[in-house]
């Protein structure tokens, strides 16, 4: 199926499609589900109930078709070929950059660096900015709830530079201790890095407040937005941070797509992350002159089709309206917390119990049953949940948990999905005699 008449426009139909799925400012997930072909699958004779969107989101037809269209109609490298399909590919690639910039309200599309995911975006900052600016005894402040992607790169950096890591603790219900954060800022850290929305607890952190406190102490701020950008309005200018990382595959886009937003003056001052083709202006045998941002950080052939697909995913979500997306997921969280707590005997729920403080993520345990067993039995009924430590081992240690099961939502999730989960969990308890 060809979905574009002009590759530089991406897909003109994305906004029109999503507009039909929103009525009076409210998102209609039942109508949206028609856009996601995988949701028509059956697993073990049951309709697929996909509750692992925090791991990766499913993709609408318009994104799938756009990527296919690139490979079928104008597959070529970007910024190189002086021929029709090469120019079409370049135009579509750069149009996608502009779409992503608009989606997070970046003031300049050149402040968007395409990466494979949020992990690569954070590593880019750690290797490029970090190795130039972090030295002996310098402090970086993180939190106890960080995904490994926003922990391990900083561990490697401070070990190399003989710096220090400090951590903002959490309360037992998963809220950051801002009083301790203010104490840690007296150490004059060079960088504060934290997640916008916890991938395990769903906690929505007060980014603007934390940025203001960090800046007042002279620190730069990196925000891991992987779990925020797909689920709530994100305006990097309003947040005031210095770096913002996110993944495309969690926001209905293709695998292998993502972005780093950073203030242009920081990008200008940072050395390249990877070296090779495309990130250079001139190369001589003994020296090279580097390209302008953002291309200075995009060495080699990029994932062109995936980047174009990411731009379309941004259009799709924008057409829904991120305020409507947030309201939908808030209602799902409220329904899930109430229903699970009432209908599943003994279930243990973690994270903030106030839906206003929580994204679409609900970790839980059934006492006496390992989360892996929970997930395996649920899969017999076509219900997909995550089980394990969710790349937050220190957080699980803080909560004294070996593992958890996790249900997580997206725009296509419904209360019927939650009802199916409730029935499935009761069946799990019956299977294990709990």
- Please identify which of the residues 391, 401, 423, 426 carries the catalytic annotation: 391
Sort strands 191-195 and 164-168 into parallel, antiparallel or unpaired: unpaired
Judge contact between 248 and 254, C-beta under 8 A: yes
Nearest to 360 by CA among 318, 396, 407, 320: 407
Within 12-103, strands assigned E span: 22-23, 26-27, 42-43, 46-47, 49-50
Alpha-carbon separation of residue 61 from 58, 97, 273 (angstroms): 10, 21, 34
Within 13 Å of residue 21, how many CA atoms lie on the same side as its CB? 29
Judge contact between 316 and 14, C-beta under 8 A: yes
* DSSP bridge pairs for 314: none
Ordered alpha helix ranges (H), 302-414: 304-320, 322-343, 371-379, 393-398
Decide if 391 is catalytic.
yes
Judge contact between 367 and 402, C-beta under 8 A: no
Judge contact between 226 and 244, C-beta under 8 A: no
Nearest to 113 by CA among 305, 279, 356, 347: 279
DSSP 123-171: HHHIIIIIHHH--TT-EEEEETT--GGGTHHHHHHHHHHT-EEEEE-B-
Q: Is 224 helix (H, G, I), strand (E, B) or coil?
A: strand
Sort strands 164-168 and 139-143 into parallel, antiparallel or unpaired: parallel
CA angle 264, 269, 270 (to 5 degrees): 100
User: How far apart are the C-alpha atoms of 409 and 141, rounded to whole Å?
Assistant: 30
User: How far apart are the C-alpha atoms of 198 and 221, rounded to whole Å?
Assistant: 17
Judge contact between 150 and 194, C-beta under 8 A: yes
Could you give the residue numbers annotated as active site?
Answer: 391
């Amino acid at each position: 199926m060809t979905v574009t008449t002009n590759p530089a426009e991406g897909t003109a139909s994305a906004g029109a499609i999503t507009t039909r799925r929103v009525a009076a400012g409210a998102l209609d997930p039942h109508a949206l589900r028609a856009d996601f072909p995988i949701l028509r699958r059956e697993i073990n004779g049951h309709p697929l109930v996909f509750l692992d969107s925090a791991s990766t989101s499913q993709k609408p037809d318009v994104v799938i078709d756009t990527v296919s269209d690139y490979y079928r109609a104008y597959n070529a490298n970007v910024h190189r070929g002086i021929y029709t399909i090469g120019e079409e590919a370049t135009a579509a690639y750069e149009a996608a950059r502009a779409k992503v910039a608009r989606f997070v309200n970046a003031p300049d599309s050149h402040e968007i660096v395409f990466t494979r995911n949020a992990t690569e975006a954070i590593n880019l900052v750690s290797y490029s900015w970090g190795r130039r600016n972090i030295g002996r005894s310098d402090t970086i402040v993180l939190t106890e709830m960080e995904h490994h992607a926003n922990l391990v790169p900083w561990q490697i950096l401070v070990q190399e530079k003989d710096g220090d890591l400090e951590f903002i603790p959490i309360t037992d219900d998963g809220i950051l201790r801002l009083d301790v954060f203010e104490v840690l800022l007296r150490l004059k850290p060079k960088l504060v890095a934290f997640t916008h929305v916890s991938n395990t607890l769903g906690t929505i952190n007060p980014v603007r407040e934390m940025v203001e406190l960090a800046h007042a102490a002279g620190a730069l701020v990196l925000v891991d937005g992987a779990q925020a950008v797909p689920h709530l309005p994100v305006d990097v200018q309003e947040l005031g941070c210095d770096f913002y990382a996110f993944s495309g595959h969690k926001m209905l886009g293709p695998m292998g797509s993502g972005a780093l937003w950073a203030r242009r003056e920081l990008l200008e001052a940072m050395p390249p992350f990877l070296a090779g083709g495309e990130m250079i202006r001139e190369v001589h045998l003994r020296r090279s002159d580097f390209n302008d941002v953002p291309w200075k950080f995009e060495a080699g052939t990029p994932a062109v089709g995936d980047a174009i697909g990411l731009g379309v995913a941004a259009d799709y979500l924008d057409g829904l309206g991120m305020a409507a997306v947030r309201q939908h997921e808030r209602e799902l969280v409220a329904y899930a917390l109430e229903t699970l707590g009432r209908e599943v005997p003994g279930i243990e729920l973690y994270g903030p119990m106030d839906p206003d403080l929580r994204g679409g993520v609900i970790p839980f345990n059934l006492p006496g049953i390992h989360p892996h067993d929970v997930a395996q039995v649920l899969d017999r009924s076509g219900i997909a949940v995550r089980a394990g430590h969710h790349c937050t081992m220190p957080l699980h240690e803080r909560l004294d948990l070996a593992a958890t099961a996790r249900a997580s939502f997206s725009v296509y999730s419904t209360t019927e999905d939650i009802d199916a989960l409730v029935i499935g969990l009761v069946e799990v308890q019956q299977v294990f005699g709990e």
